[in-house]
């Protein structure tokens, strides 16, 4: 029997890889993946022209909660703190900043539905 926690981690890794593939296909430049500052992490950092976006990726299987619903206030606050640290450590990269979210829903038979929301939340929303 496969450990449910392991299955969830594997699904999350797959979802993040699919999100990165989608972001690249949309013409965004990947600057970092799984960037950490202390206990806070940014799943993906991308650049779109002068804009740097901090992307939170949530992957879920079929169930009561849609992937993007999991980007709650606490998660937004952690992403914001990590983004502040990233900006501080990478001066001069980007003139504008935003927070994006990508929801990856893995359905029956491995069917995938992906939703990318640009400017999904503001720093003050955290």
Q: Are 43 and 55 in contact (CB under 8 A)?
A: yes
pLDDT at 4: 81
pLDDT at 125: 61
Residue 80, both tokens? 């914001």
Where is pLDDT greater, at 65 or 18? 18
| pTM of the full structure | 0.91
* Phi, psi for 78 (deg, rounded to 5): -65, -40
Q: Is 81 left (phi over 0), alpha (psi -120 to 50) or beta?
A: alpha
pLDDT of 124 strictly over 70: no
Tens digits of residue pLDDT in 87-98 = 999 999 988 999
Residue 126, both tokens? 């955290």
Token pair 């999350």 is found at 12
- The domains located in the chain, with CATH, are 4-125 (3.40.1350.10)
């Amino acid at each position: 029997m496969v450990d449910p926690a392991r299955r969830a981690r594997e699904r999350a890794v797959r979802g993040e890889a699919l999100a990165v593939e989608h972001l690249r296909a949309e013409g965004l430049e990947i600057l970092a993946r799984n960037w950490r500052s202390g206990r806070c992490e940014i799943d993906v950092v991308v650049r779109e022209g002068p804009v740097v976006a901090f992307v939170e990726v949530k992957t879920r299987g079929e169930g009561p909660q849609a992937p993007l619903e999991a980007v709650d206030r606490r998660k937004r606050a952690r992403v914001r703190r990590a983004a502040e640290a990233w900006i501080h450590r990478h001066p001069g990269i980007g003139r504008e900043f935003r927070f994006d979210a990508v929801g990856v829903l893995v359905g029956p038979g491995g069917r995938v539905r992906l939703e990318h929301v640009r400017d999904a939340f503001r720093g003050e929303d955290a």
